[in-house]
Amino acid sequence: MQPIIEMKSVVKSFGHFIALQGVDLSIKEGEIVVIIGPSGSGKSTLIRCINQLEEHNSGDIVVDGIEIGQGRKRAVQVEVGMVFQSFNLFPHMTVLRNVALGPARVRGLSWADADERARKLLVRVGLEDHITKYPAQLSGGQQQRVGIARALAMEPKVLLFDEPTSALDPEMVGEVLYVMQQLAKTGVTMIVVTHEMGFARKVADRVVFMDGGRIVEEGRPAELFSAPQDPRLRSFLQAVLSH
């Protein structure tokens, strides 16, 4: 079966800083991949290249058969959903409108159908009582669940999560991870950048460890966490698991 995401020798630099130094990564449809690594290791840049919020300098990225580059940006962005660390909800729209916007404007649904789809998704993430509120009236955890519903509303083939719980108060992390866990059972392809090792262990099909703009080690979570090979991974795990 052809992979849904295929990255070959992807390089991305910001001025003199090389964030990705030739990354190869292949992801199967329906796979849940968790990317871990120290800050500045290129994890976020990697997934931001997949939906072209960052344009890579060289190498190939193919998403669902679409070769990225040369004006194919939007075609990919339509098929790939993203959940941001800082939510990035649209503050001037109600929760319902935040979620319905994509289906109405991009998928061409009528507003009535888009609202209906949005309402169902908001029920699914447990926010049916908040659909007429504005983002600023919600807690962080609630906002992030809206962010997940907004990404889902486009019925994407791939969902990217860029540290979705890092900006949350500790007591709200659980509700977001729970929604993500439920999502993982639906068969959607998920790529999650996170520091939540518990989530990685429980939900991931594969864990990818990055350091210095490279993929250093990858494998099934059970193996990777219990028997890390690379010394950098070993010291990283020691640091994050010791507290």
Partner 1 sequence: MSIFDTFLNWKVFVQTLPLLLSGLTTTLTLGITAIILGFIGGLVLALVRLYGVSPLRQISIAYIDVFRSIPILVLLVVIYYALPFVGIRLSPFGAAASALSIVSAAYSAEIFRAGIEAVPKGQFEAAHAVGLSSWRLMGDVVLPQALKIVIPPITSNSINVMKDTALASVVAMPDLLKQATQAQALAANPTPLISAALIYIAILLPLVRLVSVFEKRLARRGR
**Binding residues for partner 1 (CB under 8 A):** 51-53, 74, 77-78, 80-82, 84, 86, 88-92, 101-102, 105-106, 150-151, 154
Q: Measured between alpha carbons, how far is 4 from 146 in angstroms, rounded to an integer?
A: 26
- Burial class of residue 204 (count of CB atoms within 10 Å of its CB; 0-12, 13-18, 19+): buried
> Which one, 53 or 197, has the nearer CB to partner 1?
53
- Name 32's bridge partners: 190
Ordered alpha helix ranges (H), 106-169: 111-124, 140-153
Radius of gyration of the chain (CA): 18
Please report how close the Cβ of residue 95 comes to partner 1 at its closest, in angstroms: 14
Please report how close the Cβ of residue 216 comes to partner 1 at its closest, in angstroms: 27
Do 85 and 173 meet the contact criterion of CB atoms below 8 Å apart? no
> Which one, 97 or 130, has the nearer CB to partner 1?
97
> Which one, 83 or 215, has the nearer CB to partner 1?
83
> Which one, 103 or 213, has the nearer CB to partner 1?
103
Dihedral sign for Cα atoms in the order 201, 239, 43, 232: negative
Please report how close the Cβ of residue 90 comes to partner 1 at its closest, in angstroms: 6
> Which one, 35 or 82, has the nearer CB to partner 1?
82
**Chain mean position to CA 8:** 20
DSSP state of 154: T
Please report how close the Cβ of residue 45 comes to partner 1 at its closest, in angstroms: 13
Please report how close the Cβ of residue 53 comes to partner 1 at its closest, in angstroms: 5
